[in-house]
Structure 1
Amino acid sequence: MRHPARLERGSLLGGRYRIVSILGSGGMSHVYEAEDLKLPGKTWAIKESVTAMPYEGSMESEAALLTSLRHPRLPQIVDFFVPDEHGYTYLVMEYIEGLTLSDYFKQCRGKIPLEHMTEFVLQLLDVLSYLHSLDPPVIYRDLKPSNIMITPEHEVRLIDFGIARSYKAQSVDDTVKLGTAGFAAPEQYGSGQTDARSDLYGLGALLLYLMTCGAYTEWIQGVESSIRSDVPRTYIPVARRLLRLNPIERFQSADEVRKELLRRPGITASGSEMMVTISGGTRVIALTGASSGVGVTHTAIAISHYLERQNFKVAIIEMSPRSQSFARIQQVAHAGKPVPAGRQFAVDGVHYWKQSGRADILSLLGGSYQFIVMDLGSGQDQNRLEEFLRADLPIVIGSGAEWRQAEIGSFVRSHNRYPRDKWIYCLPLASADAVQRMRKTLDTSSVYGLPLHIDPFDREPQMDKVFAHILSHMMGQLPKKRSFFARKRVHD
């Protein structure tokens, strides 16, 4: 139920605060901009709320709570007016210049720059960590875009503590079930008591909302198809775990989430890009062909087994829906033995996944693999294109034959609207002169010729040198192991 605003431009509150404008309205409250007559030039925000009569002190509780908090991402409280005869109360607080995240989201047409998205999430984790570390912990319970201010310097501020509460360990359920639909954790609707993990669910809902351009706030079937193509694939298991229905299955603290994000490729404490290291997380390498028959599957297998020989846990995924390559490999690997049912099998320590989809990728990202190599084939449907663009290392395979080298230039031109700073180009059997010409044509040094490599399961020293150079920023050198097929031939 909405209540009419009681103040208007020029109204005077407490003989000191003159209303300049109304900043916003929602639910049971209105927020005004006001000038301070005792401190010329000083501007405050005044929150007007309606409380049930007789007065139960809820607004005063919010004021007392906020007054006790000290954090740069929380507003400073300077004055409080108890309810008048109509139940209207007023909270005078720091005026924060900027936009709500909701308005900023609209200004960006639903696509907030990735670096800003990361900054906002890390800043929210910072303030949540502070609130949850208090004694007793303070649970915010309403983390949504309209309650988050973004300053011109892209600093985050939480602005509405209307339903925050102190955590009471002896309570089984919350007294009041409050929260915003879509962003509130399931336990806020009566299934249990809210605690720090409830705020983490809200953070996950907010993260997914930003990752899907506002399409989703909960993890349901099909959500992965709406995730922005520029969002790093490693963000997805973080959001998915935050949104678990059972609090026990979520991250258990804001610090735990922060550590997980900061050890993911591409994130630093400031939210800027960094060089990938092997400190944790799953790296995704995606290979696609500029045209058919250029050796995408052969190269993907070779990379996978190269990484496995460096003692990394590797999965290779066949993303072309009509490909039978992995099925044939499985038959060779199980020669003379029954072929097991299912789409997963292993060769020399590398886990192969036949004809897989996006749901398989999501489940693998949440596992223990250090590398996932995607064989995208040469087809470019939207799903495979998005996987290619989202990968930590996107690799385009083109023919090394001079008469076919125009194909890779055509491929690049057809995708010129996408950022290509991470792309690597590999030309099997290309001459040194052909590689140099292609580097000049594409205006990048990230073009590599691949030497003759008859069996991609075997170690080929010249190919290893190329892979070591291409993958040097993603891995470290570890002892090599022998190939499954090499051992099989020795024994045969």
Structure 2
Amino acid sequence: MKQQPCRLLHGEVLGERYVIDRIIGEGGMSCVYLTEDLKLPGKKWAVKESMSEPGMQRAVQDEAQLLIKLSHPRLPRIVDFFHVQDTGYTYLVMDYIQGMTLEKYFRGYRGNVNPEFIMELTEQLLDVLEYLHGHEPQVIFRDLKPSNIMLTDQLEVRLIDFGIARSYKQESGEDTVKLGTVGFAAPEQYGGRQSDARSDLYGLGALLLYLSTSGKFSEWITGVERHIRGDLPRELVPVIRKLLQYAPEHRYQSTMEVRSALSRQQSIPVNSSGVQSGTVAGTLVAAVLGASSGVGTTHSCIAFGHFLASRYGKVAIVEMSAKSTAFSRIQEIAEGGKLGSIRKFEINGIHFWRQTARTEVISLLGGSYDAVVLDLGSYRDSERLEEFLRADLPIVIGSGAEWRQHDVVTLARMLSRHPQPGRIYALPLAGEETIQEMRKALGTSKVHALPLQSDPFEIPNSSQQTFAQVFQDYLPSTERKRRFRFRKY
């Protein structure tokens, strides 16, 4: 975007009222001046000058009128708006806030700001975003970056740049203008759909990740967790991860959900690897991928689901293959030989979803379940691999037989381009010697033997102990006392 030079000089009078003092900010297509008010001697205002595109004057004016109606302690008052007809420039007059931008404050600490400051900043931003998103019509800020956040002398937040804020239009399919700062703006702001409240939540996540990595990252990419500061409050990291999901439907859907997640995480310990113990924000997703066919992937998924149901409230086991027939056979037994069009069925309180498409899984991960086990079948296609890479707990099932160990090593080599610190390898019926060999071959200690389990719907004590090791970083402290039997009709 071409830099637009500031037009006005010291001493010029704008709108027969505002005397230009000096430039206090500029960038992109706008410039901000500090001005003095001729009608109110001694009163200072910040005036933002912007160039409007031809034909957009009316839309810009409508948005300005909306912003003038806003009233919140973390927003500057916008008291006037006008445009100069012969130049195409518009002017937004707002409170002048003394202090410094978050960007300048952050640089002053060389990226090492106090963890308590980050949490307080989070609370204040949630406060103002809740107000904007609850406004009628809803207001989307769309540019939550350090230079657009002012800190007063008391470190109170003020959002200062409403240059690209807009009201949400229910009937609109996508934004007509793609705006936002690269690295902080949500993916949908670059085309394909309209930005909404979840776009601001992505921006919040990008900002928090930026602060949490000392300015190194604002997107959740592979390996980023290694750069997150170890002194951060434990509840923040999984929340940031979910805020930065690519698809809006995978993020938190409101500021209230973010607050709830932060509150829910507060007393959960963190293990030495930086993984949160006890739970994750939202739904725990365990994705199970077979190194090859016939290694017991589905059998293990069912057993994992029943184990998690003893610790979590509402659990689902999801078959993510249109070709698989395993869940169909189970449903026929559970429902007395009948297989209808409804692909969801229940066995002892656990929901089974057979032949589930990826698009359907999205709705299952929106918080309706406490834990979900995804049966991805054997490694074949990239769509299933994406779900594996996005999971909280990715588990590879492989054979412990010597002649099939190569399948596990080969898959691990293929997955090496996608680092996942929490990845687990589980080998049914493998001996201790095999486990030690595979740990050496795979370069990880997270290789477990799964004991003989003839009925995955009934978990023996030996399996309970092993599964507790597999899921140790994600188990709530309180166990739910439940006994499972395969119910037949």
5+ residue gaps, structure 1, are 37-43, 100-117, 164-178, 190-205, 221-226, 244-249
SS of the counterpart of 2:377? coil
Equivalent residue, structure 1, for 2:142:
144
SS of the counterpart of 1:17? strand
SS of the counterpart of 1:303? helix
- Letter in structure 2 aligned against 1:316: I
Deviations 1:163-222 (A, max 9, x none): 9xxxxxxxxxxxxxxx74xx7232899xxxxxxxxxxxxxxxx999725684544499xx
Equivalent residue, structure 1, for 2:368:
368
Change (3 A) 1:463 1:21: closer
- Letter in structure 1 aligned against 2:383: N
**Shift of residue 284, structure 1, vs aligned partner:** 1.1
In 2, Cα distance between the equivalents of 1:372 and 1:470?
15
In 2, Cα distance between the equivalents of 1:267 and 1:380?
40
2:160 is the alignment partner of 1:159: yes
Contact 2:20 2:34 in 1 (8 A): no
**Shift of residue 349, structure 1, vs aligned partner:** 2.6
Change (3 A) 1:70 1:396: same
Contact 2:289 2:378 in 1 (8 A): yes
Equivalent residue, structure 1, for 2:485:
483
Contact 2:10 2:20 in 1 (8 A): no
Change (3 A) 1:400 1:124: same
Equivalent residue, structure 2, for 1:379:
379
**Shift of residue 445, structure 1, vs aligned partner:** 2.1
Contact 2:245 2:251 in 1 (8 A): no
Change (3 A) 1:144 1:96: farther
**Shift of residue 436, structure 1, vs aligned partner:** 1.8
In 2, Cα distance between the equivalents of 1:407 and 1:478?
37
Aligned length: 390
SS of the counterpart of 1:321? coil
Contact 1:318 1:353 in 2 (8 A): yes
SS of the counterpart of 2:403? helix
Q: Which aligned pairs between 1:122-141 and structure 2 lie closer than 5 A?
A: 124-129=125-130, 141=139
SS of the counterpart of 1:374? strand
**Shift of residue 308, structure 1, vs aligned partner:** 3.0
Contact 1:287 1:396 in 2 (8 A): yes
Change (3 A) 1:367 1:20: closer
Equivalent residue, structure 1, for 2:299:
298
**Shift of residue 430, structure 1, vs aligned partner:** 1.0
Equivalent residue, structure 1, for 2:334:
333
**Shift of residue 295, structure 1, vs aligned partner:** 1.3
Change (3 A) 1:410 1:89: closer
Change (3 A) 1:267 1:81: farther
Contact 1:21 1:34 in 2 (8 A): no
Q: Which aligned pairs between 1:53-202 and structure 2 lie closer than 5 A?
A: 70-71=73-74, 74=75, 89=91, 91=93, 93=96, 124-129=125-130, 141-145=139-143, 148-151=144-147, 158-161=159-162, 180=166, 184-186=168-170
RMSD: 5.2
Deviations 1:127-165 (A, max 9, x none): 2246689xxx797724223xx3324999986333479xx
In 1, Cα distance between the equivalents of 2:305 and 2:243?
19
SS of the counterpart of 1:376? strand
* Structure 2 length-normalised TM: 0.62
Change (3 A) 1:88 1:302: closer
Equivalent residue, structure 2, for 1:312:
313
Contact 2:289 2:397 in 1 (8 A): yes
> Among the aligned pairs, what percent are the same residue?
35
**Shift of residue 388, structure 1, vs aligned partner:** 0.7
Change (3 A) 1:483 1:389: same
SS of the counterpart of 1:405? helix
Change (3 A) 1:211 1:404: farther
Change (3 A) 1:331 1:266: farther
SS of the counterpart of 1:312? coil
- Letter in structure 2 aligned against 1:377: G
In 2, Cα distance between the equivalents of 1:418 and 1:154?
38
In 2, Cα distance between the equivalents of 1:75 and 1:213?
25
Contact 1:311 1:479 in 2 (8 A): no
In 1, Cα distance between the equivalents of 2:82 and 2:355?
65
When structure 1 is superposed on structure 2, of 279-288 and 122-131 the one drifting more is 122-131
Change (3 A) 1:440 1:428: same
Deviations 1:51-108 (A, max 9, x none): 99xxx9x989978x89x8643xx5699x999988979757474596688xxxxxxxxx
SS of the counterpart of 1:388? helix
In 1, Cα distance between the equivalents of 2:148 and 2:418?
28
**Shift of residue 285, structure 1, vs aligned partner:** 0.9
**Shift of residue 120, structure 1, vs aligned partner:** 9.6
Change (3 A) 1:290 1:279: closer
Change (3 A) 1:61 1:280: closer
Equivalent residue, structure 2, for 1:426:
426
SS of the counterpart of 2:285? strand
Change (3 A) 1:70 1:343: closer
Equivalent residue, structure 2, for 1:40:
none
Deviations 1:379-400 (A, max 9, x none): 3312211111111111111111
In 2, Cα distance between the equivalents of 1:301 and 1:126?
42
In 2, Cα distance between the equivalents of 1:402 and 1:286?
25
**Shift of residue 439, structure 1, vs aligned partner:** 2.0
Deviations 1:263-288 (A, max 9, x none): 677999xxxx7615358732111100
**Shift of residue 427, structure 1, vs aligned partner:** 1.0
Contact 1:237 1:362 in 2 (8 A): no
